[in-house]
Chains A and B, each alone.
Chain A
Amino acid sequence: MLTVVWCILERDLKLALRRRTDVLTTLFFFIIVVSLFPLGVGSEQALLRQLGPGVVWVAALLASMLALERLFAADHEDGTLEQMLLTREPLPLLVIAKVLAHWLLTGLPLVLIAPLVALQYHLPAIAALAMMVALLLGTPILSLIGAIGAALTLGLRGGGILLSLLILPLYIPVLIYGAGAVTVSMIAWADTQPYFLLLGAFLLLALIFAPLAAAAALRIALE
């Protein structure tokens, strides 16, 4: 069973390596959106510190949204998705593999670039660390929930807009606790624990239910 997960993961990573633009657009979109805010609101240190966590998280939501539309669409167009449905492996497992590849390509780069972004907002080192942990827990949730939306809007015209309308409201809890953790870390690190625990709980829930929901939506989309 795991060989199939590995096989899909390896294939998607290989495809991304051969077509690097998709990965780089997400990352640069994130960097540009985050950089625009200090230019717009001025460079006052206290203001930026207050805005920072929220802005970074909103930018992360939008960036992970960007590549979501292509998550299943490319496989749908060339017929490989059909082949994936016709295997004896459980479809939710294949969805997990696709989501994992998506997260490695679009979520993980955001986690790694976070300390650099934190500098722009004059966030202290401890807040940069909190941001990395929060993004590490939060971005996989974005990919998992996003997969449901991507599967539901598969093959629809103008699916991209509909996808954002469907999925962005579901991202709100992640946004609240993700940004909250960073803000709280600037006051006392110990207080961040409940935020991280809640994000972890969301991640587990999403890991269990999102692949099942996405798999069911894929079966309907391909009928």
Chain B
Amino acid sequence: MLDVLQLSCRRGERLLFDDLSFQLDTGTLLHVRGCNGSGKTTLLRALCGLLRTDQGEIRWRGQTLQSLAEDYYQDVLYFGHLNGLKGDLTAVENLRVAARLAGYRCGTGAIDQALARIGLGGYGDLPCRMLSQGQKKRVALARLLLTNAPLWILDEPFTALDVDAVAWLQDHLAAHVSAGGLVVLTTHQEVALTSGQIQRVDLDNQKTASMKTPC
């Protein structure tokens, strides 16, 4: 579904990655690894189409991102370093705006339910600036529950989360992958899936390895 062909990217004088190719089919999780500054975020932003790369192509369902333009974004959910939450708005208001921007209409009921599932039931009416770092992250992650996008691009989704939230996210990712979704994520911790396929890209020595976990 998502094909990356001979992608290379340069930031200033430094070559971040060169001739990077991989193919992701439905039901795959791609774990992008690499030390700090190796270009993980850059790769993810390129996959979102936020960043133009020097060479190479990214294709989604056989079409290049340039030709898809805005149509690509109805299939993508991007979760960046910044949570994308307004401190003065409540969690519910933030999520409602996020859902509308993504093209979904969510009632307050659906949003409350999503917040409850992520362990923030009862926090929905607090302005987000009153929440702790981990709670903000959880609110932002609640977007995963309000979307139908098949491709999730997640940049360091596990930071600042407590053990329960990490476990919840792992389960949720596994469920998405086993339902035929695609996940691309960066993290420094090991990711285990109960089902589905994990691919790994190591930006330090740029080799793609494939590993199949038994279903």
A86 contacts B50, CB within 8 Å? yes
Q: Specify the main secondary structure of chain B where it touches its partner.
A: loop
Report if B101 contacts A (CB, 8 A): yes
Cα A188 to Cα B22 in complex, Å, equals 73
Q: Which of A77, A79, A90 has the most CB of B within 10 A?
A: A79
Contacts of B103 in A (CB 8 A): 87-89
Report if A167 contacts B (CB, 8 A): no
Report if B139 contacts A (CB, 8 A): no
List residues of B (51-108) whose CB comes within 8 Å of A's CBs: 51-52, 70-71, 73-74, 76, 78, 80-89, 93, 97-98, 100-103, 105
B101 contacts A222, CB within 8 Å? no
Report if A208 contacts B (CB, 8 A): no
Q: Is the interface on chain B under 10, 10 to 19, 20 to 34, or 35 or more residues?
A: 20 to 34
B101 contacts A78, CB within 8 Å? no
The chain B residue with its CB closest to the CB of A81 is B84
A153 to chain B, nearest CB (A): 19
Cα A86 to Cα B68 in complex, Å, equals 13
A7 contacts B83, CB within 8 Å? no
Cα A79 to Cα B41 in complex, Å, equals 14
Tell whether A4 pairs with B100 under 8 Å between CB atoms, given A78-B87, A88-B71, A223-B50.
Answer: yes
Q: Is the interface on chain A under 10, 10 to 19, 20 to 34, or 35 or more residues?
A: 20 to 34
List residues of A (209-223) whose CB comes within 8 Å of B's CBs: 222-223
Residue in contact with A78 in the complex, picked from B84, B98, B105, CB distance below 8 Å = B84
Report if B114 contacts A (CB, 8 A): no
Contacts of A7 in B (CB 8 A): 97, 100-101
B88 contacts A87, CB within 8 Å? no
Report if A83 contacts B (CB, 8 A): yes
Question: Could you give 22 example pairs across A and B, Cβ below 8 Å?
Answer: A4-B100, A7-B97, A7-B101, A8-B97, A11-B86, A15-B86, A18-B89, A79-B80, A79-B85, A80-B86, A80-B97, A82-B50, A82-B80, A83-B84, A84-B101, A87-B103, A88-B70, A88-B71, A88-B73, A88-B103, A90-B70, A223-B51
Top-10 shortest CB links A-B? A79-B82, A79-B84, A7-B100, A18-B88, A88-B74, A83-B84, A88-B70, A88-B73, A87-B101, A80-B84
